[in-house]
Chains A and B, each alone.
Chain A
Amino acid sequence: PRAPGAAAAPRREAAAQVGFRAALYFLFLREFQQADIKYLSGWNQWKRSSRKSWKKVFDEAKEVLSYLELWRHDIHSIEGKFGTGIQSYFSFLRFLVLLNFVIFTLMFSFVTLPSIISKYGIFNSSFDEIPAKSIEPHCTVYTPSGNKGLIYFYTYPKDLLSGTGFLEMTSLFYGYYTIDAAWISIFRYNLPLAYLLTTFAYLALSLLWIIKRSVEGFKQNLVHDEDQFQSYCNKVFAGWDFCITDLNAARLKHRSLQYELKTDLEEERLKQKIADRTMKDKLRIYSLRIFLNIIVLAVLSGCFYSIYRATVFSQGNISNVSIRHDIRTNSNLLVQYLPSIVITLANFIAPQIFSVLIRLEDYSPAFEIRLTLMRCVFVRLANIGVLLFSLWSQISYCATEKCKACGYNYELYPCWESQVGQEMYKLLIFDFIIIVAVTLFVDFPRKLLVTYCSCKPVQWCGLQEFGISDNVLEIIYGQTICWIGTFYSPLLPAIATMKYFIVFYIKKISLIHTRKPSARPIRASSSNFFFLVVLLIGLVLAFIPLGISIAHIPSSKACGPFRNFNTSWAVVPHTILGFPTGLQKVLYGIASEAFAVPFFMVICLVMFYFIALAGAHKRVVEQLREQLVMESRDKLFLIRKITEAQKPLD
């Protein structure tokens, strides 16, 4: 008697033959279809050849441009050694350097350069400083300490770190820009309007650039997020990239394949577990989650309250000194940096608490990661908001009648925008100091300890992993500060550019020498999209304080380009009143309800159309998927028929 395997083999051979013949048939069909193309008309042939040559020109131009790319070689080598997840962090850093440089160029050329040119009379320019009309005189008193009298030498570094003293009256801060109009030959340059419009311009530019970059990632994310039809087969049979030639890259690929397979299997097990939960289990889990979320809220309010108290204390101490001595002197550096210190501590402690809590909440791993990240993002960005809110509550706190006439606390904050600019400047500098200090005083000693000390606990701790999400949140936090602070301190983007430039090299050195590769390789395409989404959230959150400050809070009357206006926004209606009547009518028409309501309705219609289109496409995809399932069932049926038909042949 033959073994069953041997009997099955010829049947399988026959089935394979059928499959092979079908494959050959389709092969020939495709050849015939391609042969048709040879008989195209001359015009189509010319079109195709010209398209090919254009494509060649474009590809060559792209290659030349890629040589000009900043840090191209560095990022390439990082990708080869550490994988695409970490490489996406460094590409993101490079993107921020470029973005900040462009914002700096914008602010410099439209705001700082005209001011400097007209103040120093270059190119036969002059400036207009319109004196304030109908404004209380006590609001316009502003005497920054500057370089008056005998200054101890240690005040220079102190001033450099806190933005006070000699830095306060430079073009770094809002208070320098007191010109109302610059005359360059016969051309009148309206500086306040330019200041405001440049602010809107850099916000819009950042928004458009981020959206453009995230669109590519969004499309990929949509495709990957769909429940993959046969993800396991795809990962196993087509998982190995046969182009890999580097042993390091091969090791990385092995690790990432192992991680992907393990997490997919774990997700499946968890889904099964969740589906198997009884009612009692569900009740217990949900009540536990509600309780833990209350704890999260408590932690958040704790952070916010401590930031508020720290800001109030710091501002109070700075101002107390000034009231006593009647000039604003520099107070203790520690008091000045207190809000920054508290924010950095909160940004460090809160994520640790969150990562402990999330383990108790029993979610699936992917959701766990996302929820923790969302919470950390919220903490970091909300901390900045709380700082600004507490600053404003100090600035707008008005007890006396004289103070109410100005609209803000003119005694303590004669030039409050410069103050806010100084706080943002301090945050940025402190963030940079922390990054350098952590690398120098934590990473390198840890590496030395692990290399030279072979005792058990040290070896068990080991080197630290390169936590991609933590690092990304760090730089997004810095970027949000830069966006908010640029309105109050136009040269801040230049400082941010230099900071990120140096941070790139610091992080690269730290990565190569003191970090071990992550045990959980991350997919690059989804990380890119995620970074940009969080950056977008940061940008939208930057809109809010800026919007409130520009439109709502009275601008300081003692300094800055908006002295003669009630609020910073007031310069726009003022300019519009100077336009010809026809243009005025058009602009008022656009802003009126008669235009806005139909416009809004048209936008809604367009949105509904696209939603319907997307829904229709999704339905088609579902139908095609069902067809595939039917097709495999048909094949199964046919194979059964074949094997049955071959039975009599045995």
Chain B
Amino acid sequence: ELLPEEEKENARSVRIPKSRILTLPELRANPFQHRICRVFSTSEDGDDSMSFEDFLDMLSVFSDSATSEIKSHYAFRIFDFDDDGTLDKKDLENLVNCLTGQSEESRLNSAEMEQLIQNILEESDIDKDGTINLSEFQHVISRSPDFASSFKIVL
């Protein structure tokens, strides 16, 4: 229950602060929790708070019935850490660090990271410009067998 009792009447218009969103069980163990809040929040203050509409948007994208195109579109926005519209080396590095854990010893060392990013770009960068844009990303996702089953949240 994210909303305190007294605000239930104006549930439609109130915005929940980010700290409370992150207490949701579905999000609290997720390494991409901050990016998810940033992507789905429509708040003008940039404080990543979410209204009911934003919350619905998030759940609908992560639901089973969302199409793969919508999911890959939003996945691209979530993985784009610097919000520049492409996944460059820095974004991929951030992504891999999120996957392997937040502590120092769980990260890959720089040589391994370099090798991994090279391999990823080799597999997905079609126009060989060193970054992955949306269509390249969607192309890779469409051939990935695990994406549909992992990119979903079941309440």
Query: How far does the alpha carbon of A240 sit from the alpha carbon of B95 in the complex, in Å?
Result: 11
Whether A230 sits at the interface, judged by CB under 8 Å, is yes
User: What residues of A have a CB within 8 angstroms of the CB of B146 in the complex?
Assistant: 234, 238-239
Are A258 and B126 within 8 A (Cβ)? no
Mask, B73-95, CB within 8 Å of A = 1, is 00100010000111000001001
Are A238 and B150 within 8 A (Cβ)? yes
Are A254 and B106 within 8 A (Cβ)? yes
Interface-located stretch among A8-16, A478-486, A567-575: A8-16
Are B95 and A236 within 8 A (Cβ)? yes
Are B115 and A265 within 8 A (Cβ)? yes
User: What residues of A have a CB within 8 angstroms of the CB of B144 in the complex?
Assistant: 230, 233-234, 237-238
Whether B43 sits at the interface, judged by CB under 8 Å, is no
Whether A39 sits at the interface, judged by CB under 8 Å, is no
Q: Closest Cβ of chain B: how far from A500's Cβ, in Å?
A: 34
Interface-located stretch among A334-342, A489-497, A631-639: A631-639
Whether A232 sits at the interface, judged by CB under 8 Å, is yes
Whether A357 sits at the interface, judged by CB under 8 Å, is no
Are B135 and A243 within 8 A (Cβ)? no
Are A258 and B108 within 8 A (Cβ)? yes
Whether A288 sits at the interface, judged by CB under 8 Å, is no
Are B100 and A234 within 8 A (Cβ)? no
Whether A72 sits at the interface, judged by CB under 8 Å, is no
Q: Closest Cβ of chain A: how far from B47's Cβ, in Å?
A: 24
Whether A241 sits at the interface, judged by CB under 8 Å, is yes
Mask, B132-155, CB within 8 Å of A = 1, is 011101111101111101111110
Mask, A267-282, CB within 8 Å of B = 1, is 0110000000000000
User: What residues of B have a CB within 8 angstroms of the CB of A249 in the complex?
Assistant: 29
B-side interface mostly? helix
| Given A247-B28, A262-B108, also A242-B95 (CB < 8 A) | no
Are A15 and B124 within 8 A (Cβ)? no
Query: How far does the alpha carbon of A335 sit from the alpha carbon of B119 in the complex, in Å?
Result: 62
Whether A246 sits at the interface, judged by CB under 8 Å, is yes
Mask, A168-188, CB within 8 Å of B = 1, is 000000000000000000000
Are A233 and B124 within 8 A (Cβ)? yes
Are B112 and A241 within 8 A (Cβ)? no
Are A238 and B151 within 8 A (Cβ)? yes
User: What residues of A have a CB within 8 angstroms of the CB of B53 in the complex?
Assistant: none
Whether A520 sits at the interface, judged by CB under 8 Å, is no
Q: Closest Cβ of chain A: how far from B116's Cβ, in Å?
A: 6
Query: How far does the alpha carbon of A247 sit from the alpha carbon of B26 in the complex, in Å?
Result: 10
Whether A18 sits at the interface, judged by CB under 8 Å, is yes
Residue count of chain B within 8 Å CB distance of chain A: 53
Are A230 and B123 within 8 A (Cβ)? yes
A-side interface mostly? helix
Are A238 and B124 within 8 A (Cβ)? no
| Given A242-B30, A243-B152, also A232-B138 (CB < 8 A) | no
Query: How far does the alpha carbon of A628 sit from the alpha carbon of B134 in the complex, in Å?
Result: 19
Are B154 and A236 within 8 A (Cβ)? no
Query: How far does the alpha carbon of A268 sit from the alpha carbon of B101 in the complex, in Å?
Result: 23
Query: How far does the alpha carbon of A232 sit from the alpha carbon of B123 in the complex, in Å?
Result: 8
Q: Which of A252-294 contact B (CB under 8 A)?
A: 254-255, 257-258, 261-262, 265, 268-269
Whether A19 sits at the interface, judged by CB under 8 Å, is yes
Whether A366 sits at the interface, judged by CB under 8 Å, is no
Are B123 and A240 within 8 A (Cβ)? no
Say which residue of A8, A27, A229, A640 sits within 8 Å of B69 (CB atoms): A27
Are A237 and B140 within 8 A (Cβ)? yes
Say which residue of B25, B115, B126, B134 sits within 8 Å of A639 (CB atoms): B126
Considering the complex, give the chain B residue whose CB is closest to the CB of A633. B126
Q: Closest Cβ of chain A: how far from B9's Cβ, in Å?
A: 30
Are A234 and B145 within 8 A (Cβ)? yes
Whether B55 sits at the interface, judged by CB under 8 Å, is no
Are B139 and A240 within 8 A (Cβ)? no
Are A245 and B138 within 8 A (Cβ)? no
Are A261 and B100 within 8 A (Cβ)? yes
Are A255 and B106 within 8 A (Cβ)? yes
Are B153 and A243 within 8 A (Cβ)? yes
Whether B120 sits at the interface, judged by CB under 8 Å, is yes
Whether A244 sits at the interface, judged by CB under 8 Å, is yes
Are A265 and B123 within 8 A (Cβ)? no
Are B119 and A232 within 8 A (Cβ)? yes
Say which residue of B32, B100, B134 sits within 8 Å of A257 (CB atoms): B100
Are A262 and B112 within 8 A (Cβ)? yes
Whether A251 sits at the interface, judged by CB under 8 Å, is yes
Whether A98 sits at the interface, judged by CB under 8 Å, is no
Whether A250 sits at the interface, judged by CB under 8 Å, is yes
User: What residues of A have a CB within 8 angstroms of the CB of B30 in the complex?
Assistant: 240, 242, 244, 250
User: What residues of A have a CB within 8 angstroms of the CB of B145 in the complex?
Assistant: 234, 238
Considering the complex, give the chain A residue whose CB is closest to the CB of B107. A258
Whether B40 sits at the interface, judged by CB under 8 Å, is no
User: What residues of B have a CB within 8 angstroms of the CB of A236 in the complex?
Assistant: 92, 95-96, 99, 116, 120
Are A258 and B112 within 8 A (Cβ)? no
Are A635 and B28 within 8 A (Cβ)? no
Q: Which of A421-448 contact B (CB under 8 A)?
A: none
Considering the complex, give the chain B residue whose CB is closest to the CB of A246. B29
Query: How far does the alpha carbon of A255 sit from the alpha carbon of B153 in the complex, in Å?
Result: 21
Are A9 and B85 within 8 A (Cβ)? yes
User: What residues of A have a CB within 8 angstroms of the CB of B5 in the complex?
Assistant: none
Query: How far does the alpha carbon of A242 sit from the alpha carbon of B133 in the complex, in Å?
Result: 23
Say which residue of A23, A261, A628 sits within 8 Å of B96 (CB atoms): A261
User: What residues of B have a CB within 8 angstroms of the CB of A16 in the complex?
Assistant: 133-135
Whether B1 sits at the interface, judged by CB under 8 Å, is no
Query: How far does the alpha carbon of A576 sit from the alpha carbon of B139 in the complex, in Å?
Result: 68
Query: How far does the alpha carbon of A12 sit from the alpha carbon of B99 in the complex, in Å?
Result: 28
| Given A236-B99, A238-B151, A632-B126, also A229-B143 (CB < 8 A) | yes
Are A12 and B143 within 8 A (Cβ)? no
Can you show 22 pairs from A to B with CB atoms below 8 A apart?
A: A12-B133, A19-B135, A19-B138, A233-B120, A233-B144, A236-B95, A242-B30, A242-B153, A244-B30, A245-B25, A245-B29, A247-B29, A254-B106, A255-B101, A257-B99, A261-B100, A261-B112, A265-B108, A265-B119, A632-B139, A639-B127, A643-B127
The 3 closest A-B pairs by CB, nearest first: A19-B135, A254-B101, A250-B29
Known: A237-B140, A238-B144, A245-B29. 8 other contacts (CB 8 A): A16-B135, A20-B135, A233-B124, A238-B147, A239-B146, A245-B25, A250-B29, A258-B100
Q: Which residues of B contact A (CB under 8 A)?
A: 25-26, 28-32, 62, 67, 69, 75, 79, 84-86, 92, 95-96, 98-101, 106, 108, 112, 115-116, 119-120, 123-124, 126-127, 129, 133-135, 137-141, 143-147, 149-154
